[in-house]
Structure 1
Amino acid sequence: MGTAEKDEDTGAGEAGGRGGRRFGNIRIGNVRGGVVGIGDNNHIVNGPQDGAVCEPAYEELLRAVQQLSADLERLVATPEVGALSDELAGAQDEIQRTGRAGAGRLARLRVLLQDAGAGIGMLASGVAVGQAVGALLGG
């Protein structure tokens, strides 16, 4: 048979002798050393997925940021907590992408930790972020 045979359960068909599957007008064959995206809203990353290598101080900060972010989800939302949460998300992304956080971001984190108030300072994760930021900024 020179044409694709339709599979009754999935609507897919075997491509006649060409080593792939057919789904509608799309033929999926072998892909090596590249990426393919089909359909709407794709996000394709072609490269290492492990993130950047971090110095131990930034690894410690990243762990503390992740823990504080999780802890903030359980607090009553205030503008200060929201701003801190947003900055923590940015710091986490920056550290994972580049292996570090810039001095400007660290300074903003320090100020936002203070602005968020005593409630954050009572959280062990808030103390850990404050200590890690202080160590990286030198004070």
Structure 2
Amino acid sequence: MAATADERDRGTGPGTSTGAGIHIGSVQGAFAIGDHNTVTHNEGTGVAPADPAQQELLRAVRELREDLARAVETPQITVLRGELADTETEIAEGGAAGAGRLARLRTALADAGAVVGLLASGAAVGQAVAALVGG
């Protein structure tokens, strides 16, 4: 049975084949279609920290920020949240947190000690900061 003219125009029906027929509705991540393609995927816009200690600090900061979402808001927690956000941004954009940032973060951790001391993620941030500042 031969395809009708309408089926041929749409690329459907028996014995028809066209290059048009791919439909992509939604895509996340990286992909390639066809021959000789190269896929590049860059997560975010920041710089990955090269120093393993900075990588550990970034991981711990993100975890503590998530844990603090469930904490009761106090002035000390508010300051700590701000320092954690600024530290995350500094590491993500520049590859490392500077000495001044680490000092402010250490102070904010100490000031919010009652809550931070109850969280494993708080201890992890404290240890990561101590490893970077040597104390």
Using structure 1 for the length normalisation, give the TM-score.
0.63
- In structure 2, the CA distance between the partners of 1:80 and 1:99, relative to structure 1 (3 Å rule), is same
- TM-superposed CA distance for 1:122, in Å, is 1.7
Query: Helix, strand or coil for the counterpart of 2:47?
Result: coil
Higher strand share: 1
Who is 1:92 aligned against?
Answer: 88
Runs of 4 or more, structure 1, over 6 Å off, are: none
The structure, 1 or 2, with the larger RCO (C-alpha pairs under 8 Å, 6+ apart) is 2
Who is 1:53 aligned against?
Answer: 48
Output the amino acid matched with 2:124. A
Alpha-carbon separation, structure 1, partners of 2:127 and 2:88: 16
Max radius of gyration: which structure?
2
Alpha-carbon separation, structure 2, partners of 1:64 and 1:120: 12
Task: Indicate the RMSD between aligned Cα atoms, in angstroms.
Answer: 1.6
Alpha-carbon separation, structure 2, partners of 1:50 and 1:109: 23
Using structure 2 for the length normalisation, give the TM-score.
0.65
Number of residue pairs aligned between Structure 1 and Structure 2: 93
Runs of at least 5 residues in structure 1 that lack an aligned partner in the other structure: 1-46
Runs of at least 5 residues in structure 2 that lack an aligned partner in the other structure: 1-41
Identity, in percent, stands at: 57
